[in-house]
Each structure stands twice: as C-alpha cells, then as structure tokens.
A and B are shown apart, each in its own frame.
Chain A
Amino acid sequence: LAKTTQPISMDSYEGQEVNITCSHNNIATNDYITWYQQFPSQGPRFIIQGYKTKVTNEVASLFIPADRKSSTLSLPRVSLSDTAVYYCLVGPPGYSNASKIIFGSGTRLSIQP
C-alpha cells in the first residue's frame, strides 16, 4: 500500500503562499493524489485532485513531479480561515479498490494575522 508522509504542522501568515508536501514513494501506476481540508468538528472536504504535472482550481494548485513520489499542495495568499488540517490521499481512480485508499496523518496548518 502506498503510505503517505506529511509534515505534522506548519505555520504561516495571512497573505503568504503556503506549500504542503506529501511523500508517497510507493504510489502505484494508476493511483491518483487527492487533498482534503478538515476543520474541527467537521468532516474532510475535497480541495483538489491530480495524477501528474500541475492542476489548478479556484482555491489551490497541486504540483506532481514526473516520478510522482511526492506532491505539493499550494495555497495562494492564505487567510485566517485556511487554518485547518490538510490530508493527502493516494488511491486508485474512482476508489475502484477502496481498501487501497490511504489517508496521510495530516498537516495542521496555522495561519497568524
């Protein structure tokens, strides 16, 4: 199973760009990389998903190098409301074999004024 490793915590300031890296050395050929955000007392919420190179949506970008052994979630110009735990998830497309879904332990991001 593709284990994921993330930094336990990160601190930044409002207006800064934040990059959170996830390591997944044993990622399978058909695995996708998905990032979720979780606030206290809430379930995780989808942020972005990708397979290779770069993906961008209205809230974040995801950078995946050619070897796909890591990925970086980039949050542009963070605000206090971005304080949350961020999870990196590696798994097959469409969760076709859900038993192979692996959530990382999460990165606790704290944004200061």
Chain B
Amino acid sequence: DADVTQTPRNRITKTGKRIMLECSQTKGHDRMYWYRQDPGLGLRLIYYSFDVKDINKGEISDGYSVSRQAQAKFSLSLESAIPNQTALYFCATSNVGNQPQHFGDGTRLSIL
C-alpha cells in the first residue's frame, strides 16, 4: 500500500549496531503498528500507538523501542542489534473503529 511507506526497504548491518526503521503514512490514520515476520511464524506485534502520546508494548517488545514523532510517523529502533532480530518488519496503520489494518511493503533486515 503506497500510502504506508517504510524506509529502508532492505538493510544489512552488524551485531551491536543501532538501527532505526521508519514508517510514514498519508492515510490520516491515528493508529500505527510495528510487526515482525519470521518464516513459518506469521506476524507478531512489536509495538503499537493509538495516537501521538500513546505507546504500547506488543507481544515481542524486548530489544526494541519506538517513537511516534507525529501522527504520520512511527519509527522502530533496535538499540543494539543481534542476529536473531533478522526478519521482515512491517508497519501498519488503522483508523478508529472496526477498520482493517493497512500495511507497508516491509523492511528486510539482516544482522550479521
């Protein structure tokens, strides 16, 4: 969905490095999410935010932090990357009410 943009699309880095993945949206949605996808495990929720002042942990938040800089921007940070954080990361947005989530096309992160 071009309305949800993730940067970078691919990143290779080394263990111990600090990494920031960025997500921006033009959908005007208040709610934003970060997911991680590993082969055979589906998507797992890392963090989510329902508005600029709201940050909540998801299922697997350890080792990650987030920042909601504006309604349209939600970034995910790995303070000290480790190899088992190698995965595909997705950002998603949704509107209030019972509305589906809209996903970006993902960031493929490899940690050596």
> Do the two shown chains form a genuine complex with each other?
yes
Residues of A within 8 A of B (CB): 32, 34, 36, 41-46, 49, 87, 93-95, 98-99, 101, 103-106
Contact of A43 among B42, B44, B106 (CB under 8 A): B106
Is B58 located at the chain interface by the 8 A CB criterion? yes
Chain B residues closer than 8 Å to A45, beta-carbon distance:
1, 103
Known A-B contacts A43-B92, A103-B42; the reply to A34 vs B106 at CB < 8 A is no
Main SS of the interface on chain A?
mixed
Contact of B56 among A32, A34, A46, A98 (CB under 8 A): A98
Closest to B6 in A: A43
Is B99 located at the chain interface by the 8 A CB criterion? yes
Contact of B42 among A32, A49, A98, A105 (CB under 8 A): A105
Contact B96 A94 (CB under 8 A): yes
Interface string of B18-56 (1 = CB under 8 A from A): 000000000000010101000011111100101000001
Contact A98 B98 (CB under 8 A): no
Contact B41 A44 (CB under 8 A): no
Chain A residues closer than 8 Å to B17, beta-carbon distance:
none
Contact B94 A95 (CB under 8 A): yes
Contact of B106 among A41, A103, A106 (CB under 8 A): A41
Interface string of B51-73 (1 = CB under 8 A from A): 00000111100000000000000
Q: What are 15 residue pairs bridging A and B, where the CB atoms are less than 8 Å apart in the complex?
A: A42-B106, A43-B104, A43-B105, A44-B43, A46-B101, A49-B98, A49-B100, A94-B97, A95-B94, A98-B50, A98-B56, A98-B58, A99-B57, A99-B59, A103-B35
Chain B residues closer than 8 Å to A32, beta-carbon distance:
98
Chain A residues closer than 8 Å to B90, beta-carbon distance:
43-44
Is B76 located at the chain interface by the 8 A CB criterion? no
* Docked pose: A49 CA to B94 CA in angstroms: 14
* Docked pose: A41 CA to B18 CA in angstroms: 24
Is B4 located at the chain interface by the 8 A CB criterion? yes
Shortest beta-carbon distance from A71 to chain B in Å = 15
Closest to B50 in A: A98
